Structure 1
Amino acid sequence: MRRFVVARIRSVPMLEALLLVRSSAEEWRVPKLVARLYLPEARVMTLIEELCSEGLASFDDGMVRYAPSSRDVDEMVSRIAAIYSRHVVAVTELIHSALERQAQDFADAFRLRRDK
């Protein structure tokens, strides 16, 4: 589960958006997601794109719906939802630590090194 979160969940808002669209079989209109996530529409559209690119949702004609790419992905998201509901801080810290590690790796790529 940790690997899945680190590899596919880019931010806490992305996880929140995923769990929100998963919470109902209905499709979600963008304005409703904007209102529920308390984020600007542009940010919500970015989250929708990220969910779709990770095979977690689909977006068509202004409607978003939970659409895991496989049964295994659906089961993993169910496990994450259950754990997140009981361990919000731990899951949030896992996501943030992955983001910090990625930022450090990016910064290190530009570090000038002296050859011996």
Structure 2
Amino acid sequence: MGTMAFTPEMRRFVIARIHSVPMLEALLLVRSSSEQWTVPKLVSRLYLPETRVRALIDELRSEGFASFDEDEVRYTPASDEVDDMVARIAAIYSRHVVAVTELIHSGLERQAQEFADAFRLRRDK
């Protein structure tokens, strides 16, 4: 199906706020239940080292998706709009994993190119 499942608003949201596929996986996992999500539980479910999981938690916090206190991560969207958008992305991701991951990677590629362009020496004409 490709990225056609995404509205332009959803595409912008994913590209701007979902930094990686592991971040999306962590977000959807924390959102999936009211279970207490501790760092060790996330490490075991995401198959990532603790340092990477802690970095993902920081990303989730900084983007307004989750809170973290006393070694417990909770899904706490910053607004109803964020919650709605995450729900819509979760629904699409459950059916179109490849399309969502391609969209995330397209955002990463664009950011990498913009970073590289910032250091490119240009000749004045």
Shorter-normalised TM range? over 0.9
* 1:84-103 equivalence runs, <5 A: 84-103=93-112
Distance 2:25 2:62 in 1: 16
Quote how far apart the aligned CAs of 1:95 are: 0.3
- 2:24 aligns to what? 15
How many residues align structurally?
A: 116
Distance 1:3 1:64 in 2: 26
Q: Is 1:58 aligned to 2:67, yes or no?
A: yes
* 1:31-50 equivalence runs, <5 A: 31-50=40-59
State the identity as a percent: 80
Quote how far apart the aligned CAs of 1:27 are: 2.4
- 2:92 aligns to what? 83
Which structure is higher in RCO with an 8 Å CA cutoff and minimum separation 6?
2
Deviations 1:58-94 (A, max 9, x none): 0000000100000110010000000000000000000
Distance 1:112 1:27 in 2: 50
Unmatched segments (≥5 aa) in structure 2: 1-9
Quote how far apart the aligned CAs of 1:14 are: 0.1
Cα RMSD, aligned residues only: 0.5
One-letter amino acid matched to 2:114: D
Q: Which runs of 4+ in 1 moved over 3 A?
A: none
Unmatched segments (≥5 aa) in structure 1: none
Deviations 1:1-46 (A, max 9, x none): 1111001000000000000000011220100000000000000000
- 2:117 aligns to what? 108
- 1:28 aligns to what? 37
One-letter amino acid matched to 2:76: A
